[in-house]
Amino acid sequence: MTTTDTRNTAFSSPAGAGERIWIVGDTLTFKATANTTGGALTAIECEAAPGGGPPPHIHDNEDEAFYVLEGEFEILLGDELVQAGPGDFAFVPRGTVHRFANIGDAPGRILILFTPGGLEGFFRAAGTPATGDGPAPPLDAAELARTDAAAPDHGLRIAR
């Protein structure tokens, strides 16, 4: 993957702006990518439906952090399961099994940070571009196949 080094170029991403992807029934909005940060990080706002969130998985190449914006989430951090609400933060070092799940009865929003950047390539390969303002479609066999195909290229292992 080739990125443009833009670390010396400041930028902002207004509310509602950014490329949107549907994956695992959630809607992701890219707020910063490897391209816009010179590879330093990827920042994603995730809107997760009740019960939404990815399955347990491991990143071999990135550290990941979560900051809950609204709603109630359950976050698996290795062997520890924590509940997190607005303002709560969690950090996951690479190589650690983890996941998050919206345990509330309404959609929740969580900010996800990856360092270094670049994992947006996985989401583009495994998910589909979001269209319209409605909710993401449910996970289906085609998405599972795309995920299985894209995961190894991005240092991602699904913990099944």
pLDDT digits (tens, 9 = 90+) for 59-71: 999 999 999 999 9
Indicate left, alpha or beta for 24 from its phi (over 0: left) and psi (-120 to 50: alpha): left
Percent of the chain at pLDDT exceeding 70? 94
Task: Using the Cα atoms of residue 1, residue 109, residue 99 and residue 55 in order, give the sign of their dihedral.
Answer: negative
Token pair in block for residue 160 = 């099944």
The class of domain 20-158 in CATH terms is: mainly beta
Q: Where are the domains of the chain?
A: 20-158
Question: pTM for the complete prediction?
Answer: 0.91
pLDDT digits (tens, 9 = 90+) for 8-27: 688 888 888 899 999 999 99
- On the CB side of 5, CA atoms within 13 Å amount to 1
pLDDT at 133: 84
Q: Which helix (H) or strand (E) holds 82?
A: strand 80-84
